[in-house]
Structure formats: structure tokens, C-alpha cells
Amino acid sequence: MPENYDALLPESMRKVLDTAPDQNMRELFKDLAVNQSFRRDVFVRGMTPVWSGEQMQKGNGDR
């Protein structure tokens, strides 16, 4: 959870994040603080959601 909520990080780590010169460095500092080498994002840019009717059709194959 700390990777998503800065408030859950220890105060000393939050102070280090506040020294970051820009947003990219802030995210790098946060990754290092929580020992994260791979981001696990839920959302994908540019993906079109599949509506439930379409999903059912795709799951049924040729039926």
C-alpha cells in the first residue's frame, strides 16, 4: 500500500520524497523506499474496455 499512498510511508521517507526535484525523481525515490523494481499498474493507457456482452461473445467462441 505505501507504493500508492505516501502517507503510509515513515515520516523520514516522506521527507526524502519532498526533496525530489521533479515528479519522475519523486517516483524513483518512492520505488527505492519500498524496494519496488517493477510497477504493477492496474490501468493501461489506450485500452478500450470490453463490455459484458462482447466479453460473453468472445468467451463462447463459435457458439
pLDDT at residue 15 tops 70: yes
Give the pLDDT confidence score for residue 28 in this predicted structure: 87
Tell whether 62 is covered by a domain.
no
3-state secondary structure of 19: coil
Quote the domain boundaries for residue 28.
Answer: 1-39
Number of folded domains in the chain? Answer: 1
Tell whether 63 is covered by a domain.
no
Burial (CB count within 10 angstroms: exposed 0-12, middle 13-18, buried 19+), residue 30? buried
Give the pLDDT confidence score for residue 40 in this predicted structure: 65
User: What is the spatial distance between Cα 17 and Cα 26, in angstroms, rounded to a whole number?
Assistant: 6
Tell whether 35 is covered by a domain.
yes
How far from 19 is each of 12, 39, 41, 44, CA to CA, in Å?
11, 22, 25, 29
Tell whether 60 is covered by a domain.
no
Q: 6-10, 16-20, 39-43, 58-62: lowest mean pLDDT where?
A: 58-62
